[in-house]
Chains A and B, each alone.
Chain A
Amino acid sequence: MSALLEIDNLSLRFGGVRAVQGLSFTVNEREILGLIGPNGAGKSTVFNLIDGIYPPDEGRVIFAGRDITGEKPYRVVRHGIARTHQIVQPLVGMSVLENCMVGACFGFQNQSLRRGRETAREVLSLVGLADRADSPASQLTIAGKKRLELARALCASPMLLLLDEVLAGLNPSEVERMIEMIRGIRERGVAILMIEHLMQAIMSLSDRIVVLNTGQKLAEGLPAEVAHNKSVIEAYLGDPNMVAKLGADRNGADQPGAAP
């Protein structure tokens, strides 16, 4: 598998705080890479750096062989990256369908209004929102808004999807559903970089994991390796169930309390 996204020695400072420091990792084609770490580790900042919302102080972001460091968000999308936000940002005055059309018409595929509408309808039925297509986006539940956020990103038909805590705030059955959708997206050939706090989910979904702490890479490797990594466990210290969570079987079997 060739590298689709390369993060090379990325650093960013906010005032006196080093949000991200000397970070490097790659995301390969058709891979699901999980990005985990305690709160404030800098995970969302990494997304903002890739997306061009903040230009980095140092380092490069290379996508599909092209250096896209610091490019504006609307250009980054044109290269084939789409993202969802941790705090959902639906375009509230518009309908669900119109929200998705924005993604289709201005995203990677840059479609016409008519093609965009078709794409939007397809994606909406994929995520199960087809019946709400004409409702105002403001009327959706949190789960619905999360699905809309995902659908909107998918409408761009990206090569790489950045998911920022898509599972947060969902009940167990909604989580299941979302996990299935994410697997389905990967089947379709889209690479995924996902931030998540739900340990079982991300451990079972990811091909590889990168662990971040205070803006630096703490560990990288297969989920099972990372779960046994001492410094990772230490970083998460304070959560007595963390060891068990990190030790969950790669196939997603729930084993709370099982020894690693």
Chain B
Amino acid sequence: MFGILASIVDGLLIGSVYGMAAMGLTLIWGVMNVVNLTHGAMIVAGMFALFLISGQLGISPYTAVPPVAVAGFGAGVLIYWLSVHRMIGRPPLMSLLSTFSVNMVLIGLGTALWGTALFNIEVSLPGISFGDYTFPGTHLMAAALTGLIAVLLFLFLQKTRSGKAIRAVAGNREAAELVGIPTTRVLALAFGLGVALACVSGALIATMFPFTVLSGNAYQLKSFVVTILGGLGNPAGAFLGGIALGLIEGLATPFMPVSWTSIIEFVVFVLVLIAFPRGLFNFTFRRS
């Protein structure tokens, strides 16, 4: 019994990281109506970036997180200019395919460089024990950091000029332009931010679990599931959704082999969407 409780709490900790990843995805989606199919590749990029930076510079992984965030932001802006900028206003199929193509390139390069080898980052951090059960220090640290980042993001969006500009463009792009907001720069900013969140969540996952170049897929899937269930363009909903997903996984993992969790998540997701085509939290609202 206590084991299940411990599993649930652990799930909540890990779920916060899912939530942060999903926030990045939903931010981009909400602001520019683009589905970022490079999301999974950027999560992996965050994993490898942390590995390389902390390995090469010999610093603690947690100190390496800010540089990963900055690098992620830069990469995001680059990806925006390369594959998203021209797709704004075009049919959604186009941005879907363009970000998908960048994803193919990134994963292709990754497998060419690193194959499908398993990587691991050694982090020695004492955990907290309750009787027989220990909550790994890495999980606790990751949850603490994501909580912090979520608060920072909230403050950024609500209080700063750039944040408000992002919210303005998300609400009504044409109106924002009329008011003089440089929409293209704001879109690039939002995209960079979304990718940075993905990279940081990848970095934190790397401190907790071993990873390969192909790990991104499972986490990308979780991000999509969380984003859609939590409500498009709703970062708070995404964060809570991530925690909820972690909770569900915590409940399920004692009872089933890990390889099945992805499939189950997926099937549940498809079934929910078929029943509520506009997402779980949208079904009370009909748009005219």
A-B interface pairs (CB < 8 A), number = 9
**B287 nearest in chain A by CB position:** A14
Q: Which of A15, A19, A45 has the most CB of B within 10 A?
A: A15
Residues of B near A14 (CB, < 8 A) are: 286-288
Q: B285 within 8 Å of A by Cβ? A: yes
**Size range of the chain A interface in the assembly:** under 10
Mark A1-41 against chain B: 1 for CB-CB distance below 8 A, else 0. 00000000000001100010000000000000000000000
Q: A106 within 8 Å of B by Cβ? A: no
Q: A236 within 8 Å of B by Cβ? A: no
How many residues on chain B are close to A (CB under 8 Å)? 5
Residues of B near A45 (CB, < 8 A) are: 288
Query: Roughly how many angstroms separate A118 CA and B159 CA in the complex, as a whole number?
Result: 63
Q: How far is the CB of A119 from chain B (nearest CB, A)?
A: 30
Mark B261-288 against chain A: 1 for CB-CB distance below 8 A, else 0. 0000000000000000000000011111
Q: In terms of DSSP, what is the predominant structure of the interface of chain B?
A: loop
Query: Roughly how many angstroms separate A54 CA and B287 CA in the complex, as a whole number?
Result: 10
Contact residues, B23-81 vs A (CB, 8 A) = none
Query: Roughly how many angstroms separate A112 CA and B285 CA in the complex, as a whole number?
Result: 40
**A19 nearest in chain B by CB position:** B288
Query: Roughly how many angstroms separate A257 CA and B5 CA in the complex, as a whole number?
Result: 80
Q: How far is the CB of A149 from chain B (nearest CB, A)?
A: 21
**A13 nearest in chain B by CB position:** B286
Residues of A near B284 (CB, < 8 A) are: 15
Q: How far is the CB of B248 from chain A (nearest CB, A)?
A: 30
Query: Roughly how many angstroms separate A15 CA and B287 CA in the complex, as a whole number?
Result: 8
**B288 nearest in chain A by CB position:** A14
Query: Roughly how many angstroms separate A149 CA and B161 CA in the complex, as a whole number?
Result: 45
Query: Roughly how many angstroms separate A94 CA and B209 CA in the complex, as a whole number?
Result: 52
**B284 nearest in chain A by CB position:** A15
Mark B72-106 against chain A: 1 for CB-CB distance below 8 A, else 0. 00000000000000000000000000000000000
Query: Roughly how many angstroms separate A14 CA and B286 CA in the complex, as a whole number?
Result: 6
**A44 nearest in chain B by CB position:** B288
Query: Roughly how many angstroms separate A141 CA and B284 CA in the complex, as a whole number?
Result: 39
Residues of B near A54 (CB, < 8 A) are: 286
**B285 nearest in chain A by CB position:** A15
Query: Roughly how many angstroms separate A15 CA and B284 CA in the complex, as a whole number?
Result: 7
Query: Roughly how many angstroms separate A69 CA and B285 CA in the complex, as a whole number?
Result: 21
Q: Which of B285, B287, B288 has the most CB of A within 10 A?
A: B288
Contact residues, A27-80 vs B (CB, 8 A) = 45, 54
Q: How far is the CB of A41 from chain B (nearest CB, A)?
A: 13
Residues of A near B286 (CB, < 8 A) are: 14-15, 54
Query: Roughly how many angstroms separate A14 CA and B287 CA in the complex, as a whole number?
Result: 7
Query: Roughly how many angstroms separate A15 CA and B286 CA in the complex, as a whole number?
Result: 7
Mark B236-262 against chain A: 1 for CB-CB distance below 8 A, else 0. 000000000000000000000000000
Query: Roughly how many angstroms separate A15 CA and B285 CA in the complex, as a whole number?
Result: 6
Could you jot down 9 A-B contacts, CB within 8 Å? Answer: A14-B286, A14-B287, A14-B288, A15-B284, A15-B285, A15-B286, A19-B288, A45-B288, A54-B286
Residues of A within 8 A of B (CB): 14-15, 19, 45, 54
Given A14-B288, A19-B288: 7 more A-B contacts, CB < 8 Å: A14-B286, A14-B287, A15-B284, A15-B285, A15-B286, A45-B288, A54-B286
Leading 8 A-B pairs by shortest Cβ distance: A14-B288, A14-B286, A15-B285, A19-B288, A45-B288, A15-B286, A54-B286, A14-B287
